[in-house]
Structure 1
Amino acid sequence: MGGDLIITGGMPLNGTVHIPAAKNSVLPLLAAALLCNGTVRFLQVPHLADVDTSVELLQGAGCTARWQGSDITVQGVPSTCRLAPEAATRMRASILFCAPLLARLGRVETVLPGGCRIGARPVNLHLSGLAQMGVHCREEGARLILTAPAGLYGADITLGFPSVGATETLLLAAAAAQGETVLRGAAREPEISDLAAFLNRCGGCVQGAGTSTIRVQGRRMLYSCSFAPMADRIVASTLACACAAAGGRVELTGCRPETYAPLLEILAQMGCRVETGPESAVITRLGALHGAGRVFTGVYPALATDAAPLLAAAMLAADSASSIEDVVFERRFGCAEGFAAFGAAVQVQGRTLDIRPVRQLQGACARAADLRGGAALVVAALAARGRSRITETGYIDRGYAGFAQMLAELGAQIEREMPRESASEKKTPSKKQN
């Protein structure tokens, strides 16, 4: 969408938000649609830049993929083994489309995936696991060529680290492989369980998703279905942190609090009142916000790495010190420079962000350097006195649909300022012919 976000801080947030479907679930689900015969429909999908990129990848592979209102339908029969390179370099999740293409066509040509610059994000776990399933890998510069001359076959694979992306890739490969695959050391995130639920709905046989050992009986064919992706626990975390930073009372519905429980527990320790139900949470902050001491992210069910910058933004408004260490990515806190522009007393030491209290954050201009860091700058701006401008908002659009409107409906003074059309871009009106 583009354009800068203009925020006047100091206004408490009040109201109710129904949390949309999770970007981190929708992207692997769209890749999984390649395995299905017939038309797959995904219900109530948020219109995000990364979702549009996934649709572009499907279309580039020869599939029919289109928006129908707020749903996406996919006829996932590919006609080419090449993933569009420009789209693939746009987001890291493009690697997820490789296993389904291998299952369908026995070959895939792509480029090393892109994404936010938050640290090393190698795909070696994806490739080493696929190699155990009969895949040959060759790199030619930035090109990645994968072939499965004898097809995919089941294997007993142990991941050295519970990578979400690698777990998803190998789960997709195993669903269409010959025989049984046992995946040990698997990621346990709820998005993995959502992907497994979809595959099972389509006739797959996945057991153990949500635990560290997943067993998959490969199926020759998967069928079509309609599927509603799970709610976005990171969007819920963002709004919870925004309420903690700005003050007020916000009710978040449609998202199970257990999926982001560590963040809610920390906000409660910082002085927020947190009330939870089966699929809702109410965050209230009326008094002072306190520091959280030392906090760490980790693999699920620990505090999510994506939530780290968002929680850090809330910590800026606290009356005592906090520190937060991200154990997953070494450059998670690229937002620290933006925090400093608001007058925050922050220091990055390795993977740790140290935060000391200041009397009041002040409105400033800050640049989003990545997706979650960009959203964190918005959270900080909501707590700052005066007017702020957040630039490079394309990063934010990758993971938040209608972010400004969502916050405005809670009472935030926020608007998107679109860039003015340059003189060279303006169209000269055509003269009417007599």
Structure 2
Amino acid sequence: MDSIRITGGNELRGTIPISGAKNAALPLMIAALLTEDTLTLENVPHLADVELLTRILGNHGVDYSVNGRREDQGEGYSRTVHFTARNIVDTTAPYELVSKMRASFWVIGPLLARLGQARVSLPGGCAIGTRPVDLFIDGLRALGARIEIEGGYVQADAPKGLVGNRFVFPKVSVGATHVLVMAAALARGETVLENAAREPEVVNLAECLTAMGARIEGAGTSTITVSGVPALSGAVHRVIPDRIETGTYAMAVAMTGGDVLLEGARPDLLEAALEAIGRAGAEITPVNSGIRVRRNGAGIAPVDVSTAPFPGFPTDLQAQFMALMTRAGGTARITETIFENRFMHVQELARLGARISQTGQTAVVEGVPRLKGAPVMATDLRASVSLVIAGLAAEGETVVNRVYHLDRGFERLEEKLSRCGAAIERQSG
């Protein structure tokens, strides 16, 4: 099993290209099931989750081909991928595939909308808290689907097609918003989704569906209106840059000091996180080619944050920000409101010398003058990269184990950091 070895203490200086967003690419790939024509997605990141979803879509009969990569960059950077679901051969998404990644459950919406049936295993994924599928099921039932759960599978049927309706999400859910927008695109009549997720990834999906012929209004607000159409066509669409990767590298620069251009980053996708990083002491400057992040000489100031749905501080940056606060000159409070079990990185950061106490869903971080390298264990995707950030500033050597978590969401992380001066390398084991 691979690990990443880091010798801390180096400032970061240079350019880091921001990849396409995993959290945008996955629903866009699933949207290919809605049409028999080819959907071409540009800027698709080369990640383990993307490869797994490609296999899952292939199980349904989706053909795909890959071409292109960014100019002047090596093999493995974001690509253009063509998906064609002309003949869907199987409407069952089996346990052995779905259990490996929660997002694969989302195929239930397009399969049900296009073919009138779907049999999808209950999902698996990261162990960061319960993420029930009740919202998905209730929403699809509101559109006229008949749904039963038996033997660990969700069996959904709509032999006469889905019918538009009004549905109010009892809580904001990005995944359920993705699924219901896709399902409603082919439903008869108008669907109104209230308390919908406002995340940029939802907007990116709606823009893609619109290019395919869907009629969608209000994406990016809490009320989305979808007027169903009989069929969708193919399209060419670009995946937005990864706001979580952007925030992660911005925090790495704030942690180590230095001056880095985050090439291709869009500041409008993570304003709350950039504001917090700025208050911590980094200089954040939007430029034509992305975002420039600098911290030269000034210390790290303590900043309190509370995670919230977009446009609030992202839960997917909470662990990274906690790593940054371990070196702050004071005490910071970090409150997690989205997932109830997303502080598993606390004990691993403590192995590096961090002082963190936890009460319920709030972690109190007392900044320390220095961290010291140690072997640590990644517990989930975002927690794993928080350990990398801490290791970049720790004295001596830090070894991050179980980095397969990192490969799910960060494209060539060690390569991007090493090009900016970090002493970091992957070790095969």
Comparing 123-132 with 264-273, greater Cα deviation is found at: 264-273
Alignment partner of 1:323 is 2:333: yes
- 339-348 vs 282-291, which moves further: 282-291
**In the alignment, structure 1 residue 376 sits paired with structure 2 residue 375:** no
Whether 2:401 is the aligned partner of 1:401: answer no
**Secondary structure at the residue paired with 1:398?**
helix
Equivalent residue number for residue 12 of structure 1:
11
Aligned to 2:427: 417
Pairing 1:133-152 to 2, within 5 Å after superposition: 133-152=143-162
- Partner in structure 2 of residue 118 of structure 1: 128
Q: Is the 8 A contact 1:271 1:290 kept in 2?
A: yes
Q: 2:377 aligns with which of 354, 367, 378?
A: 367
| Map of 1:53 onto structure 2 | 52
User: Which residue number in structure 2 is paired with residue 76 of structure 1?
Assistant: 85
> Counterpart of 1:422?
none
Question: Which blocks of at least 5 consecutive residues in structure 2 are unaligned?
Answer: 69-78
Once the two structures are superposed, the pairs formed by residues 58-69 of structure 1 within 5 Å of their partners are 58-69=57-68
Deviation at 1:60, TM superposition (A): 0.5
SS at match of 2:110: helix
Which residue matches 1:36?
Answer: 35
The alpha carbon displacement at 1:352 in A equals 1.4
- 2:262 is the alignment partner of 1:252: yes
Could you give the per-residue CA deviations for residues 256-308 of structure 1, whole angstroms, max 9, x where no partner exists?
A: 10211111111111111111236622111112433334211111101011011
Call closer, same or farther: CA 1:279–1:131 in 2, change over 3 Å: farther
- Rounded Cα–Cα distance in structure 1 between residues aligned with 2:204 and 2:153: 31
Aligned with 2:184: secondary structure?
A: helix
Look up the SS of the partner of 1:251 in the other structure. Answer: strand
Q: Report deviation, 1:354.
A: 1.2
Matches within 5 A, 1:109-258: 109-258=119-268
Question: In 2, are the aligned partners of 1:134 and 1:150 still within 8 Å (CA)?
Answer: no
Contact 2:281 2:298 in 1 (8 A): yes
1:424 aligns with none
Task: State the partner residue of 1:425.
Answer: none
Of the structure 1 ranges 100-109 and 212-221, higher mean CA displacement relative to structure 2 is found in 100-109
Of the three residues 296, 303, 310, the one matched with 1:300 is: 310
Q: Residue 392 of structure 1 corresponds to which residue in structure 2?
A: 402
Residues 267 and 283 of structure 1, relative CA distance in 2, 3 Å threshold: same
Q: In 1, are the aligned partners of 2:113 and 2:184 still within 8 Å (CA)?
A: no
User: What residue in structure 2 maps to residue 89 of structure 1?
Assistant: 99
Structure 1: unaligned runs, 5 residues or longer: 420-434
What code does the residue aligned with 1:406 have?
Answer: K
Q: Give the whole-Å Cα distance in 1 for the aligned partners of 2:260 and 2:391.
A: 18
CA distance in structure 2 between the aligned counterparts of 1:395 and 1:293, rounded to whole angstroms: 27
**d(CA) in 2 for partners of 1:276, 1:170:** 34
CA RMSD of the aligned region, Å?
1.3
Q: Residue 146 of structure 1 aligns to which amino acid in structure 2?
A: A
Q: In terms of mean alpha carbon deviation, does 59-68 or 90-99 score higher? A: 59-68
Q: Which residue number corresponds to residue 72 of structure 2? A: none
Q: Counterpart in 1 of 2:75?
A: none
Q: Distance in 1 between matches of 2:303 and 2:90?
A: 53
Runs of 4+ in 1 over 6 A off after TM superposition: none
Aligned residues: 418
User: What SS class does the counterpart of residue 211 from structure 1 fall into?
Assistant: coil
The answer to whether the 8 Å contact 2:319/2:343 transfers is yes
Write the letter of the residue equivalent to 2:2: G
Distance in 1 of aligned mates of 2:288 and 2:214: 28
Which of 282, 293, 299 is equivalent to 1:283?
293
Which residue of 1 is the match for residue 76 of structure 2?
none
